Structure 1
Amino acid sequence: MTNKLTLLDVSLRDGSHSVRHAFTEAQVQAAAQGLNAAGVPYFEVSHGDGLGGSSLQYGLSAKNELKLIEAAASVCTTSKVAVLLIPGIGTKYDLQQAVSAGAKMVRVATHVTEADVAAQHIQLGRELGLKTVGFLMMAHMASVETIVAQAKRFESYGAEVVYVTDSAGAMLPQDVTERITALREALSCEIGFHAHNNLSMAMANTIAAVEAGATYIDGSMRALGAGAGNTQTEVMVAVLEKLGYHTGIDLYPLLDTATNVIAPLMQQPQEITASSLILGKAGVYSSFLLHAQKAAQQFGVDEREILMRIGKLKAVGGQEDVIYEVAQSLVKV
């Protein structure tokens, strides 16, 4: 176990889901200034579904993400901008453009069983001089042995950090401990963990991850993120410091940014609602929530039942169209 942790804030990427991809350059720049003042090493800026995500399928962005990256990078003296790239949504060209705009880290994200689709993107990240991360999404859907095998692929491609990602907020602390411990024993690179709070387990899971050996930890200010949100960055900093971990974060500027920048732009409180709870119970991708709500309204059906059916189908990111098919099937003739 190490007492030195690297925190990454995802408010300006995962939080994009919650605000329906409506961040402005001014909002992003203000948040970036606060994160930089607080000494947060990395923070993510992009569409919620990563580079190239602005589309009818995933939701259109109000502003060009390259402009948002530029706005964030322009005010950073110590913090660095990270971007998410999901192969099949984002391209190598998108990554090159993001680097030109100021990105210093790429997190290449795949479904937990599909790390092999990321080889060229991981390799490009290293060639471009980026801190390069492999991001195994929906990690609750695979066995520990499968996760280890997929993580080894990421490492072999050149990933410097491999993340266990609880995209559905479906894990319990023992699930996290098993996965992080196994990766710590099998890999030479660093291990990261990304939580969602759909079962109110985000903080407990984060603590389990660091105790098992994760050194990269994600959070979002005010928990702003898909579903019920992520581990709340400012709370996480306070808790980890009380536990004896060194985060290097100045809590007061972080609190000021969460209060004065993030809270006013939130479209609704970030809380565990009936539907976000179902995300965690059924193991559904957290970004499906707003799509399910829209489909439920369109077809006049219960969004919770949509999510339960989606969970049984084991749908994953990229299959948002299935949400509308399920909603239509629930309409009583």
Structure 2
Amino acid sequence: MRTVNIDVTLRDGGYRNGFNFPLSYALQHAKLSVEAGFDWIEIAYRKGSLLPMPDLGLTGRGDDDYIAAMAREVGPERIAMILHPKNITDDDLPAMYAAGARLVRIILPAQGYEAGLARIRQAKELGFTVGVNFARISQWAGRDVVEVATAATDAGAEFVYLADSNGSLSPVDTTDLTTLTKSVTGRPVGLHAHNNLGLALANAISAVAAGATWMDSSIQGMGKGPGNLIAEQWLAHLDRTDAEAAGRLHLGPALELADLLLDTIPEGAPSLPLPDLVLGRYDLSVEHRKNLLGDHREGIATARTLAAVR
């Protein structure tokens, strides 16, 4: 079955550079991403991530004029956004649609997700393609996956993304979660993988084998901590193994985009911060990172304690 691919570099990569991508770079990025065959480019958060950040840059704000510029460059049918319901008002989704966004992903927590259901309904009425993201899915109980996925799809969500925000899933975990979500909703399932344990590609392959049909990746893996599924690797894998994908995905422009990123954005270089590896091992969120800096042995002991009391 056809895999829908979302390029999340401009959004998730923003965790590395304060979301401060120049508009000129973002426009070039979007153009090459489309040439590479990505179905959607997720260009920004709308009004920030979960926690407030100072001096939030272009791709963390998702202003209307930025959306409009990107839509003029590659067409509205490629423009995706993501948001936390708590950050927006009734005016945001209509403004985003008018500016040129056509896909929106709404991030839902395991508890207190009800406010997000109203945003799903509003986005559907406006004409968006609407999906939901389950953040930190590695910490969700199975019953919560069932409850929230059912509520979200009943409200109109067209697909459900499992977001491995802590980078802690294994291929077996990914298979089980994909199978569960697909069986509950009957809707397409996607994976947003982080690479804390070097398993993003393996998890992506496992998710697709279990029936996932949506996939996030980023150029050079640029994303929070050690980053996401590396887009160039993912496209190369699909080119080798999926005849349908090989006809519409193009590795050459993706490699050109990787060169552009590395030449233009210093924070785009691949990185494996050692505290983030420990976070992945103990299934801890990025908020715990400050507790693991310094002596590695002490950091691991702290991580064990935090995981035990979570």
Same fold (TM over 0.5): yes
Given that 1:123 and 1:157 are in contact with CA atoms closer than 8 Å, whether structure 2 keeps it comes out as yes
- Structure 2 residue 141 is the aligned partner of structure 1 residue 143: yes
Residue from 3, 6, 9 that aligns with 2:7: 9
- Aligned pairs for 1:270-309 (under 5 A) are 270-286=270-286, 288=287, 292=290, 304=299, 308=303
1:70 to partner: Cα distance: 2.4
Does the residue aligned with 1:88 lie in a helix, a strand or coil? helix
1:102 corresponds to which of 97, 100, 103 = 100
Determine which of 57, 62, 67 is the counterpart of 2:57: 62
In structure 2, the partner of 1:237 is 235
TM-score, with length taken from structure 1 = 0.83
- 1:115 & 1:187 partners in 2: Cα distance? 17
Aligned partners of 1:312, 1:21: CA distance in 2, in Å? 33
Aligned counterparts, 1:189-208, within 5 A:
189-208=187-206
What does 1:104-119 align with in structure 2 at a 5 Å threshold?
104-119=102-117
2:182 is matched with 184
Contact 1:113 1:147 in 2 (8 A): no
Aligned partner of 1:222 in structure 2 is: 220
Deviation at residue 261 of structure 1 after TM alignment: 3.3
Compared with structure 1, are the counterparts of its residues 269 and 180 closer, same or farther at alpha carbon in structure 2 (3 Å cutoff)? same
Per the TM alignment, residue 311 of structure 1 is displaced from its structure 2 partner at its CA by: 4.9
Residue 263 of structure 1: CA displacement?
5.0
Structure 1 263/121 Cα, relative in aligned 2: closer, same or farther at 3 Å? farther
CA contact (8 A) 2:146 2:181 kept: yes
- What is the CA-CA distance between 1:45 and the residue it aligns to? 1.3
Aligned length: 303
CA deviation after TM superposition for structure 1 residue 183, in Å: 1.5
Matched with 1:33 is: 31
Structure 2: gaps (5+ residues): none
The Cα shift of 1:264 comes to 2.7
SS at match of 2:81: strand
Structure 1 unmatched ranges of 5 or more: 315-333
Residue 304 to residue 33, structure 1, CA distance change in 2 (3 Å): farther
Are the counterparts in 2 of residues 86 and 108 from structure 1 also a CA contact under 8 Å? Answer: yes
Larger helix proportion of the pair: 2
Deviation, structure 1 residue 92: 3.4
Instruction: Read off the aligned partner of 2:280 and give its amino acid letter.
Output: G
Identity of aligned residues (%): 27
Q: If the length of structure 2 is used for normalisation, what is the TM-score?
A: 0.88
Displacement, 1:144? 2.6
Q: 1: CA distance between counterparts of 2:178 and 2:189?
A: 7
Q: CA–CA distance in 1 between the matches of 2:280 and 2:258?
A: 25
Per the TM alignment, residue 21 of structure 1 is displaced from its structure 2 partner at its CA by 1.6
- Deviation digits for residues 131-179 of structure 1, max 9, x if unmatched? 1001111111122332122111110110000111111101101000001
> Deviation at 1:213?
0.3
Q: Corresponding residue for 1:319? A: none
Give 1:285 deviation, angstroms.
Answer: 3.0
Shift of 1:36: 1.8
Secondary structure at the residue paired with 1:132? strand
Counterparts of residues 309-324 of structure 1 (less than 5 Å): 311=307, 314=310
User: Contact 1:39–1:78 (CA<8 Å) still a contact in 2?
Assistant: no
Per the alignment, do residues 305 and 162 of structure 1 end up closer, same or farther by CA in structure 2, a change over 3 Å counting?
same
Instruction: State the Cα distance separating 1:55 from its structure 2 match.
Output: 10
Q: Using a 3 Å threshold, how does the CA distance of structure 1 residues 16 and 68 change in structure 2: closer, same or farther?
A: farther
Per-residue deviation, residues 221-273 of structure 1 (Å, max 9, x unmatched)? 11010011000112101112322263332221121112113553032632222
